[in-house]
Amino acid sequence: MATTLARIMNPDMTKTSKTSSHTLQDVGEAIGARERFIVASHARPDGDAVGSQMAMALALEALGKQVTVVSADPPPEVCRALPGVDTIVIGPTVAGEWDAAIVMECGELARTELTGLDGTFAINIDHHLGNTLYGDVNYFDESAAACGELVHDIIGALGVPLTAQIARHLYVAILTDTGSFHHGAISARTFDICSRLTAAGADPAALAHQMFDQYGVGRLKVLGAVLTDMRLVGNDGVAVLAYDDALLTRSGATLDDLEGLVNLPLASRTVQAVVLFKTAAGEPIRVSLRSKGDVDVRAVAGTFGGGGHRNAAGCTLESSAPDACDALVTRVVAAVNAGAATAGDGDRSMGT
Ligand SMILES: [Mn+2]
């Protein structure tokens, strides 16, 4: 209540809300004062999007709130067996009435690819550097390994106990966003939260098996095909991968079968960054970027209108400009060389 009181006494404080992150207490108050919620995340959702949305929805329901979880696209196949995921309303348009939209994992509202949210009271919860703080309430922390970490803290602030179902969703969010605790802003807090989630009923081995070991053989075939055609540039420092729908069809694979593909070349000692192009006739080219250590692919994505994290980013290129692909790869090679120079690590030097 101190925060509310302070704002009443000093209305100018609210003017800072567009340029700075709010506190957990602000988020708790914004949720507590409202009854009907839309819970949204980005299009083509990943485990962090689905897990964060579902955990938040379960917590809101525990408080007696009315909740609708929405998504422009269906959840990944591997997430569909998790509790409540089948209740997510899939589609490009959000209909109905609500008091607030809780938007997770989106640097800007447009990333939801949902229509009908404009002008709504928005609670923005995210860990992507470059978030535009578009919400009426913004809970933004780039030091979180997953949005699920932030949702864990919010659920605690709301006073909702961690049930086994909530714990499973949050664990999946963290497990998938860190690639099995392999990359991202993994910290002592990450393990502290996971310890609590495990105590509350999340089974780490079972959830890892459920998330990573349930693909069809089409996955093996499509990964083999893409890796066979991999191009290595910058003294093997950058791996360039590409696929299209025809390759998926030939391999008997689905889009879900490509989950994690972009990370695979990083298993090589020499590869410091990966560029993955998804091409389709007449459509923009989708680009996923991954890197190790100091190599900043978010900056590269940013020069092409995209964003993300230092080691995981993405952007979209106009397919009418094939030179843009070469220009992007050149920038990634430069980023690898700059990263190697920053690190001052002879083993990682790419440019010599
Ligand atoms: Mn995330």
- pLDDT tens readout for residues 315-336: 999 866 768 999 999 999 999 9
How many A from CA of 10 to the centre of ligand 1? 35
> What's the confidence (pLDDT) of residue 351?
35
Share of the chain above pLDDT 90, in %: 80
Q: What mean pLDDT is predicted for residues 208-228?
A: 95
Residue 346 confidence (pLDDT): 40
Q: Is pLDDT above 70 for 145?
A: yes
Token output for 137: 């309430």
Pairing of strands 66-71, 122-126: unpaired
CA distance 349 to 29: 50
- The pLDDT, as a whole number, for residue 277 is 96
Within the chain, residue ranges assigned H as helices are 2-9, 24-32, 47-62, 147-157, 164-177, 188-199, 204-212, 217-228, 245-251, 297-303, 323-343
Q: Which pLDDT belongs to residue 338? A: 94
Q: Is the pLDDT score of 208 beyond 90?
A: yes
11 pLDDT exceeds 50? no
Taking the centre of ligand 1 as the mean of its atom positions, its distance from the CA of residue 39, in whole angstroms, is 15
Distance 313 CA to ligand 1 centre (A): 11
Q: How far is CA 223 from CA 23, 210, 241, 252, 270, in A?
A: 43, 19, 10, 11, 20
Give distance in angstroms: CA of 177 to centre of ligand 1.
6
CB 110 within 8 A of CB 43: no
| C-alpha 179 to ligand 1 mean position (Å) | 11
321 or 46, higher pLDDT: 46
**DSSP output for 205-263:** HHHHHHHHS---HHHHHHHHHHHHT-EEETTTTEEEEEEEHHHHHHHT--GGGGTTGGG
Q: Which of 14-23, 128-137, 313-322 has the highest mean pLDDT?
A: 128-137
Which carries the bigger pLDDT value, residue 281 or residue 145?
Answer: 145
Six-digit token string for 288: 């996923």
- What pLDDT, on a 0 to 100 scale, did the predictor assign at position 141? 94
Query: pLDDT band at residue 20, thresholds of 50, 70 and 90?
Result: low
Tokens representing residue 235 in the block: 């003294």
Q: Tell me how far the alpha carbon of residue 146 lies from the centroid of ligand 1, in angstroms.
A: 5
Q: Cα–Cα distance between 80 and 84 in angstroms, integer?
A: 9
Q: What is the pLDDT of residue 343?
A: 65
Partners of 316 in beta bridges: 286
Q: How far is the CA of 104 from the centre of ligand 1 (A)?
A: 9
Sheet with 273-279: list strands edge to edge.
231-233, 238-244, 273-279, 285-291, 312-317, 307-309
Residues 90-108 have a mean pLDDT of: 95
Q: Tell me the Cα Rg of the chain.
A: 21
> Ligand 1 center to residue 50 CA distance, Å?
10
CA of 289 to the centre of ligand 1 (A): 15
In the structure encoding, which two tokens stand for residue 236, read together? 């093997």
Ligand 1 midpoint to CA 126 (Å): 7
Query: Between 148 and 348, where is the model more confident?
Result: 148
pLDDT at site 5: 42
Ligand 1 center to residue 109 CA distance, Å? 15
C-alpha 105 – ligand 1 centre gap (Å):
6
Distance 174 CA to ligand 1 centre (A): 8
Query: Average pLDDT for residues 110-114, to the nearest whole number?
Result: 96
Structure tokens at 99: 């008091």
| Span from the CA of 155 to the centroid of ligand 1 (angstroms) | 17
Model confidence pLDDT, tens digit, residues 48-71? 999 999 999 999 999 999 999 999
Mean pLDDT, residues 9-20: 42
If we measure between CA atoms, which residue out of 46, 52, 197 comes closest to residue 124?
52
Does residue 312 surpass a pLDDT of 50?
yes
> Is the distance from CB of 140 to CB of 126 less than 8 angstroms?
yes
Higher pLDDT, 6 or 254: 254
The per-residue pLDDT for 129 is: 83
Looking at the DSSP assignment, which residues form a beta bridge with residue 163?
A: none
Average pLDDT for the chain: 90
Judged by DSSP in three states, 85 sits in helix
Which residues, chain by chain, have CB under 5 Å from ion ligand 1?
48, 147, 177
Q: Are 284 and 298 in contact (CB under 8 A)?
A: no
Query: Which pLDDT score is estimated for 131?
Result: 92
Average pLDDT over residues 21-32: 95
The model's confidence at residue 12, banded by pLDDT at 50, 70 and 90, is very low
CA–centroid distance, residue 5 to ligand 1 (Å) = 33
Q: Tokens for 72?
A: 């422009």
Write phi, then psi, for 303 (nearest 5 degrees): -70, -15
The Cα–Cα gap between 177 and 276 comes to: 18
108 CA → ligand 1 middle, Å: 14
pTM of the model: 0.82
Q: How far apart are CA 1 and CA 3, in angstroms?
A: 5
- Which tokens is 104 given? 């997770």
d(CA 140, CA 82): 26
CATH numbers and ranges of domains, the chain: 2-212 (3.90.1640.10), 217-348 (3.10.310.30)
CA distance 38 to 46: 18
Say how many Å lie between the CA of residue 351 and the centre of ligand 1.
32
